[in-house]
Structure 1
């Protein structure tokens, strides 16, 4: 019996192991959603906004390492996918977007809701095509999936509304060849890298998420070179726990120990990272970079030896060529600075800190109303969250506090919009994460601005009874923008948010809502949120004047902040 275009697509998704398709139903997609309805093993997840659907599909893909799938109907429905798909593209995770289109005969006539999807998704997609004949299937679907998986990106397949229920004349099953090659550089390149590293006396590692499958080899390299290990935010997940070499993050969210480890080294070994902030790289330093993508080599900092290949395979070939460094002074100094910085951060996170004379002095400057410090909230979440919890975080200050106070050990996972830097990602990514791992705890670090931007998909969490824990850093501000303005010497403007009681909103939607305004109630409230079955929104009013000092603050930043505060006080 001949199958329709829609059934070919859905049957292929089932064969690929796709369990959930995220989207908003619409007329052009009715044949596809109906095929999902009648197919065991593939479930439709109806979201309230297509952007949330794309974020959820991307999150599921990042966590599972497999294809994520989302759908948007003709015109505006497809347009709404765009931001979430950009996040997937920047995260280099495979996502297939199936988009509706006007009837085939009307394409190009400026028909109602018509949008040129092939043009719209040109920048975001590694593959985009419009099905114009049933006989193009399943070949076109195979090409889309192979492109998304092999290149780690987004594929967009557009299906006109009158094509989905048409039957194929040649009804063969879709076939996918998805094995990826593992490569390493040739021997002369490895010898050049070894020569450079062996000649250095102080080597520092900068480790990114691209090294996550090579933890054993990376730790061996750090041990052999007696090298401190600076982690990018995306590398926290695989390298922070049980690691005697790591010294945390660099950049604006980082710490002085990581900045020192980079600046005091005479050689830098970059492993699976495309860390974008040029100002935070060391100067006058020899650099070896290992990355699977050849076009990443040297694009952030000048590289003396670039090695294109899998980090694990390359290190396994490189390690026998490296001399063992007995002098641990460089490593020990960085680790001591890191421990000292961590002790200071933990003092800030201690609720009793406000009662000590140092705490009272600081509070007189930045927390006169003795509101809950966001550091204390993040530390409490770290304490009570499960050892294998999955964390998501909104872009901005919520990510800063997660970076500094949540430890990714014991099998914990972490995703966020760490390349695109979008607002509103944490809650919909948590939605996708919970469907990927229904038996694991999922915790979203939500900014109040980010949560309110896609607030409607709280109803999706309620509808599907997803036990997500939403922790809202409710400082009534776009906090990162406020800090950026003040560091530039500008008074705060346009960042204040007239928030509702988010806990009451959640309660009205059928989700457990807990609101915390008193520092004395913080730990009991966080503990109760994690102990309560089902979804919980924990709305914590935090200090809006909290400042996250970067790892290497500049005089101009401090001066700018002082000027901004004067401008805010004076009319």
Structure 2
């Protein structure tokens, strides 16, 4: 006899789901039995923490474009999913979360693990329902999957333990006729109206110094972006989630924007008279042109995002790739003076990056690890980053090559996502090498997933930038508030020994003179490897252009009793003198 859980698994398969991440538990046993019966068709990835499962579902959706699915038991299992689900919500990744619930006749009676997960998930989910009976399962499962895919958000269904195994004779009640199909309308075919395209073209044709800001929504529009940049004589600046939208060796891009961006990108933003945003709602408005100082055209598939960060004179609601294709025939060929100026500035910036990345100083600079790694990541790789100072080293020193995939936690900017992201990438693309760039703070939060890497023999290179401190937080305390650092030191764990204990090959790098050779010795081997790079904790991830207010706050922090003020001052002064010389 078919039960409600069997129906759920059948609907997952009908929608093309082939992978699910999670942990079992008595609150979800009914669904796991149905998964066991379909284990040859639906792969279950057993993780060590439910937060990791949600991160993996988010990353799986980001890297494949498919639905990411995670599953947990009732109570604490479901609660643990939340951080990864908020990551999916804020970066628009389609994810389905399946959770267990206590027996339906015990809900609300203070029984064990009596957590109303459907109420808890109200903010994170675009679709959020409790399954009331076996006959209720099919239509709710279909609507949850359809909504997650169509809205590019999180859907959640929670199922009482007794309902999970409730037998179903007909599949659905007479009051609930079949009203679904396993497909989503092709929203990516959506185009703006002709009059809006003409209005946008008029603004762009009048512009003399045009800058393009590309984000996650333009990842599939690489060739179109480059043709647009060629036509408009416009440099392409990339938001972090759009790092792979245009390869970093393209003559049209100046690299990233913001605190971890590049100086030529910021110069282009500050010097433009026309601003074209494509598939991005970059949140740090202080790095965008002053409102009213430039003309602005924005392309975004989500109408909510139009004018969200910068006032748009014309908002083109549509898919980036198709909208650019429709716009190109309407555009006039522009002079390349502004682009050529940006290209020269980028070349100078690259020289500075090389100078910082090849320093022989000891302790080893984190830039050295980024520089040496960036030269060795192959063109078919997938690269994930965690959040913290290491995000800067990834953004600036590990170039995105044509065909690569890069991602991180964007708007949530949560720590601990880097390794689960890498696991999802390696599961989705077993024939491609995966590189995980993570700090010692982020890795230690979900350290158990090293066992997951070993258990599945995943092809991941884990590069741990170890400075024994929560570096980003330390510098934020000083630069944003002018206070000395506090509570940022980390106990110096031996990640090489920990990795080896989990069955992963591992090495330590601490000498800049041997960094490249040591990387060569391990990254080409099959299977997982962990590389612990011990670096200088006093090297800050400084923005490309330091504001006077930031310099003042740092000085205040040093004066107020920063415990490492002499080392920080000497390190910064020494680095700046080297750059000037």
Q: TM-score, normalised by structure 2?
A: 0.92
Gap regions ≥5 residues in structure 1: 355-362, 364-369
Instruction: Tell me if 1:212 matches 2:219.
Output: yes
Of 418, 424, 433, the residue aligned with 1:426 is 418
Deviation at 1:71, TM superposition (A): 0.7
The aligned counterpart of 2:175 is none
State the Cα distance separating 1:499 from its structure 2 match. Answer: 2.4
How far is 1:241 from its partner? 4.3
Residue equivalent to 1:475: 467
Per the TM alignment, residue 314 of structure 1 is displaced from its structure 2 partner at its CA by: 1.9
- 2:156 aligns with 156
Which digits, 9 at most, give the CA deviation of each residue in 1:6-52, with x for residues without a partner? 11111222232322211111012111111111212212211111001
**Following the alignment from structure 1 to structure 2, what is the Cα–Cα distance between the partners of residues 317 and 431?**
38
- Is 25-34 or 517-526 further displaced after alignment? 517-526
One of 330, 347, 351 as aligned partner of 2:355: 347
CA drift at 1:461: 1.3
Q: Which residue of 2 aligns with 1:234?
A: 241
Distance in 1 (alpha carbons) for counterparts of 2:210 and 2:181: 47
| Conserved? CA contact 2:247–2:402, under 8 Å | no
Determine whether 1:533 maps to 2:533.
no
Measured after TM superposition, the shift of residue 242 of structure 1 is: 4.8
Change (3 A) 1:195 1:126: same
Q: 2:485 — aligned with what?
A: 492
Whether 2:288 is the aligned partner of 1:294: answer: no
Whether contact under 8 Å (2:134, 2:167) holds in the other structure is yes
**SS at structure 1 position matched to 2:185:** coil
What residue number does 2:373 align with? 381
Residue 114 (structure 1) aligns with: 114
TM-score (norm 1): 0.94
| 8 Å contact kept, 2:129–2:158 | yes
- How many positions carry a matched residue from both structures? 553
2:97 equivalent in structure 1: 97
Q: Is the 8 A contact 2:212 2:236 kept in 1?
A: yes
List gaps (5 residues or longer) in structure 2.
Answer: 173-177, 567-581
SS at match of 2:513: helix
Aligned residue in 2 for 1:507: 500
> What's the counterpart of residue 515 of structure 2?
522
Equivalences for 1:242-321 in 2 at 5 Å?
Answer: 242-283=249-290, 284-321=293-330
Q: Deviations over 1:362-398 (max 9, x none)?
A: x6xxxxxx11111110122122222211111111111
In 2, Cα distance between the equivalents of 1:559 and 1:18? 53
Conserved 8 A contact 2:15-2:183: no
Q: Is residue 67 of structure 1 aligned with residue 73 of structure 2?
A: no
How much does 1:483 deviate? Answer: 1.3
Q: Which one of 555, 562, 566 corresponds to residue 555 of structure 2?
A: 562
Checking the alignment, whether the CA contact within 8 Å between 2:246 and 2:402 is kept in structure 1 is: no
Q: Hey, what's the Cα distance between the residues in 2 that align with 1:114 and 1:521?
A: 55
Q: How far apart are 1:440 and its partner, in Å?
A: 1.0
| Partner Cα separation in structure 2 for residue 393 and residue 242 of structure 1 | 20
Worse-matched range after superposition: 145-154 or 34-43: 34-43
SS at the partner of 1:380?
A: helix
Q: d(CA) in 1 for partners of 2:258 and 2:425?
A: 27
Q: Which whole-Å deviations, capped at 9, do the CAs of 1:244-283 have from their partners, x for residues lacking one?
A: 1111111100111001101111100111111111101112
Q: Deviations over 1:52-92 (max 9, x none)?
A: 11111111111110011111101000000000111111111
Cα pair 2:244 2:402 within 8 Å, conserved:
no
Residues 88 and 154, structure 2, Cα contact 8 Å, conserved in 1: yes
User: RMSD between aligned alpha carbons?
Assistant: 1.6
Instruction: Give per-residue Cα distances to partners, 1:418-471, cap 9 Å, x unaligned.
Output: 121101000111111111011111111011100001111211112222231110
1:199 aligns with 2:203: no
In 1, are the aligned partners of 2:225 and 2:246 still within 8 Å (CA)?
no
Q: Secondary structure at the match of 1:443?
A: strand
Output one character per residue of 1:394-414: Cα deviation in whole Å (capped at 9) or x when no partner.
111111101101111131111
Moved more, 102-111 or 13-22: 13-22
